[in-house]
Amino acid sequence: MQEEARIGNVILNFKHYSGLDLYSDGAVENEILDIVKKNRKEDYPKVIEKRASWPILYHLSEQRSNIVEWIPMTGKEKVLEVGSGCGAITGMLSQKAAKVTAVDLSRRRSEINATRNKERDNITIHVGNFRDIEPDLDKNFDFIFLIGVFEYGQGYIGTENPYENFLKMLKRHLSSNGRIVIAIENRLGLKYFAGCAEDHLGTYFTGIEGYSQDSVARTFSRNGLERIFKRCGFKDYHFYYPYPDYKLPVMIHSDKYLPSYGELSDNVRNFDRDRLQLFNEKHAYETLIADGMYPEFANSFEVILGPGFNTIYSKYSNDRADEFKIRTDICVDIAGRKQIRKYPLNEASKDHVFAMRDAYYGLTERYHGGDLEINDCQIDEQEGCAIFSYINGLPLTALFDACLEKDDMESFNALFREYIRRMGYRPEFPVTDYDLIFPNIMVNGPIWTVIDYEWTYGKCIQPKEIAWRALYCYILEDRKRKKLDVKKLYDYLEITDDEIKVLLEEEAGFQKYVTGSRKSMVELWKDIGRNAIVPKELAGVDPNMHPADEIQIYTDEGNGYNEEDSIFPEETYDEHGVVTLDVETGDNINVVRLDPAFATCIVTLKKIMWNDNSVAEGGTAVAIHPNGKWLSDDSIIFATSDPNIEFILTSDNVQKEEKNHLKITYMMTLIPAESARALYESLPDEEVEKEQESGKAILSKIKNKLFNVGKKSYLADSEDEDVDDTEEDE
């Protein structure tokens, strides 16, 4: 066998390759190799969206590299990566370090790695078992990375104490001040208690209960890892906590900067397989955070063995359009003082970061003489980042939550009026922070400081619109806040139902602008088709157990509805909120009931077919009874968290066969409970029963042009525009 080959500039060393790939995701790896051969890295997001496959998302998503991108390097480092796989981490390390030596068991994965990083001239990949390759490796690496690898120590080393021996072996290859970086699941991670299967074995509670002797992989608790480190002679180590986990992290906390109340809300999704949902993880995390126990139950660990860093927290915003991708760090200096730094993640986003200083100047001028402070901003051109002071205090969100928890609406309303007074100062001034939401304001006694003003525009926007958006985002973040009756707040803002409709569409337009119309992780999760399954014993006990956009279907064959016989269909909404359901029934069917969501929403019925006959064309008489109100011939507003539509199939005109199919295509849009209630109450009170006449809906869209102050542009006025309801227009 040829001992060495090249793919582009990358060297592949096969000296210790056995000729057999012992670790593989199967045939999908051939598909991934074909993708990286035919596509540029910039095109990977589109491929991920199109293929809707967990292995493709996992191996090609740029979020994979977040786990190492934040680690400070000078560009002169010599790096060893053990278990380099398909190269998601290798590529990032090659950008940050002078030389990368990678090791992997699989030839196919190494070929994928080399192909996707072929332009890099500082990568060498050794293919084979680490134990065989180890004697050939250098002794002076500045960093050794084990990302999702340490748990396989038994397979790599195979001795009586494989994990200790693995680390001792690696330690021999470190420079005097070198570091080993380990990313691994926490066997006691909260998600495993809440109903996620163990990542490597696919079984429930395996890590919690204790692995069997023949387990192919083994993860550890924090205490378990510390015992291993100490037995190997490591005294200097530092724990970080990637969230939601180390695979696709968006936040990385540390012991010096732990999560705050309400911060961990992205918990339900599990991309590799279906999961159970036994309790609300966000609320459980809040309890653990309050009791100082988050480190023991974080889903993953990232451990630095060796000297620590001055970075104590990183947050990624790289699920956006390229020109808005940034990383936010909290760092400490020698004196222990905290500082916030925002870094562009590519060339395209530099203007966005540097424009924050212009936003600071504009907002400072607007609020001069008022009661709203703007956190200072400086630009470090050498570091290429924006620098802000760290502001102590409580986020305004926490103060609002405290009022709700005490059911003290008088204090809540007074606090909201104070927010309006302060943020609405000099409303005619042509600079507005569009994202002046409650978490972006830090309160320290009488001093209110805006700590994040990334989306500031050179235009007057009415304070009531900014306040409405702040309330909308506040309620959307946590279902417990839906008990808030904001109709009085809307009345105080003098905001009409028609204005709310426009603002909802503007918000959707803004989100698409920020993301560049890329799919969010929520949308990708839906496309991949995984489910969060609530056991029937828990269903109905707590509405928070269900995702807001989950669909449930009941059928009545003469005995009424039965919760046990209801189904949660595999079909899910696409990125436009559209879904087609095909409900199969017998000939004794009376009613099909569709529950389109577990939250207040608007549903637009686009097409209804009974046994391939269109209801709209009069071929059959299916009566439609929603527990909401009709907005138009085909749209229904639901002001309840249990919306449902009954399709009555008892008419003589409904021709039934032994097997029947009711196909329903509709669009669902979630809206805040208060907006739904206000819109619902504005409609006539009389109940309306109607025959469905048309599956077509006239949609409207808002043109939103949002530009930064630093680019000397503005938030354009929204214009209504009718759109034909075709698939292309959607």
CB 78 within 8 A of CB 142: yes
Collapsing DSSP to helix, strand or coil, 360 comes out as helix
451 and 582 both lie in a single domain: no
Among residues 497, 515, 533, which one ends one of the domains? 515
- pLDDT at 715 > cutoff 90: no
Torsion of CA 209, 215, 216, 218, to 10 degrees: 40
Answer yes or no: is 524 within a domain. Answer: no
Average the pLDDT over 183-211 and give the result. Answer: 95
Is residue 483 helix, strand or coil? helix
In this structure, the answer to whether residues 426 and 468 fall within a common structural domain is yes
Give yes or no for residue 197 having a pLDDT over 50. Answer: yes
Residue type, 180: I
The domain containing residue 223 runs over which residues? Answer: 4-25+65-253+290-313
And the tokens for 315? 């947050």
Indicate whether 344 belongs to any domain.
no
CATH number of the structural domain spanning residue 91? 3.40.50.150
Look at residue 681 in the predicted model and tell me its pLDDT: 82
691: in domain: yes
Res. 717: pLDDT tops 60: no
The C-alpha angle with vertex 397 and arms to 394 and 401, in degrees rounded to 5, equals: 105
Sign of the dihedral through C-alpha 92, 93, 95, 96: positive
Angle at which helix 463-477 crosses helix 396-405, to 10 degrees, equals 60
For residue 32, pLDDT over 80 is answered with yes
| 588: its two tokens | 């004794």
Chain position carrying tokens 């993860």:
219
Residues 122 and 223 in one domain: yes
Q: Residue 146 falls within a domain, yes or no?
A: yes
* Mean pLDDT value of segment 315-322: 93
Average pLDDT over residues 641-658: 88
Percent of the chain residues topping a pLDDT of 70: 92
User: Mean pLDDT across the stretch 116-130?
Assistant: 96
Given a contact cutoff of 8 angstroms between Cβ atoms, the answer to whether 354 and 710 are in contact is yes
**Inter-CA distances, 602 with 42, 87, 544, 678, 712, Å:** 36, 44, 20, 13, 37
Mean pLDDT lowest for which of 70-74, 145-149, 357-361, 525-529? 525-529
pLDDT of residue 391: 96
User: In the prediction, which pLDDT does 165 show?
Assistant: 93
Closest CA to 245 of 198, 292, 298, 318: 298
Cα separation of 642 and 661, whole Å? 25
pLDDT band at 712 (very low <50, low <70, confident <90, very high): very low
Half-sphere exposure of 436 (CA within 13 A, CB side): 29
Yes or no: say if 9 and 119 are a contact pair by the CB < 8 Å rule: yes
Looking at the fold, whether 108 and 249 belong to one and the same domain comes out as yes
Least confident of 251-255, 628-632, 710-714: 710-714
94 with 239, same domain? yes
DSSP letter, residue 482: G
Residue 491 lies in a domain: yes
pLDDT at 522 over 60: yes
Same domain, 499 and 580: no
Strand partners, 239: 303
**pLDDT at residue 724 above 80?**
no
Task: Answer yes or no: is 34 within a domain.
Answer: no
CB 67 within 8 A of CB 87: no
pLDDT band at 730 (very low <50, low <70, confident <90, very high): very low
What distance in Å separates the CA atoms of residue 342 and residue 39, rounded to the nearest whole number?
30
CB 142 within 8 A of CB 106: no
Tell me the CATH number at 412: 1.10.510
Asked whether residue 509 falls in the same domain as residue 560, the answer is no
pLDDT at 29: 94
- What span, in angstroms and rounded, lies between the C-alpha atoms of 314 and 318? 12
Q: Are residues 111 and 12 in the same domain?
A: yes
For 133-168, b/e burial (b = at least 16 CB within 10 A) is bbeebeeebbbbbbbbbbbbbbbbbeeeebbbbbbe
The three-state secondary structure class of 599 is coil
Between CA 645 and CA 653, with CA 651 as vertex, the angle to 5 degrees is 115
In a domain, 258, yes or no: no
Q: Is the pLDDT of residue 727 over 50?
A: no
**Domains: count for the chain:** 3
- Whether the per-residue pLDDT at 338 is higher than 50: the answer is yes
Q: In the Cβ-directed half-sphere of 711, how many Cα atoms lie within 13 Å?
A: 17
Q: What DSSP letter does each residue of 665-683 carry, written as one string?
A: EEEEEE--HHHHHHHHHHS
pLDDT tens-place string over residues 576-588: 789 999 999 988 8
Domain co-membership, 93 together with 192: yes
**Is the same domain home to 500 and 563?**
no
Residue 699 has pLDDT above 90, yes or no: no
Give residue-wise pLDDT tens across range 442-500.
999 999 999 999 999 999 999 999 999 999 899 877 767 877 878 888 889 999 888 98
pLDDT of residue 438: 96
CA distance 486 to 475: 10
| The predicted structure's pLDDT at residue 541 | 53
pLDDT at 545: 63
Question: Which strands sit side by side in the sheet containing 591-595, from one edge to the other?
Answer: 552-556, 591-595, 645-648, 623-626, 690-691
Shared domain for 504 and 551, answered yes or no, is: no
pLDDT score, position 484: 82
Is the per-residue pLDDT at 636 higher than 80?
Answer: yes
Average of pLDDT values for 136-146? Answer: 97
**What's the rounded mean pLDDT across residues 270-296?**
92
The b/e string for 350-359 (b: 16+ C-beta within 10 A; e otherwise) is bebbbbbbbb
| Nearest Cα to Cα of residue 657 among 711, 610, 617, 719 | 610
Name the average pLDDT for the chain. Answer: 88
With a cut of 60, say whether residue 689 has pLDDT above it: no
- The percentage of the chain sitting over the pLDDT mark of 90, rounded to a whole number, equals 64
Instruction: Please check whether residues 455 and 557 belong to one and the same domain.
Output: no
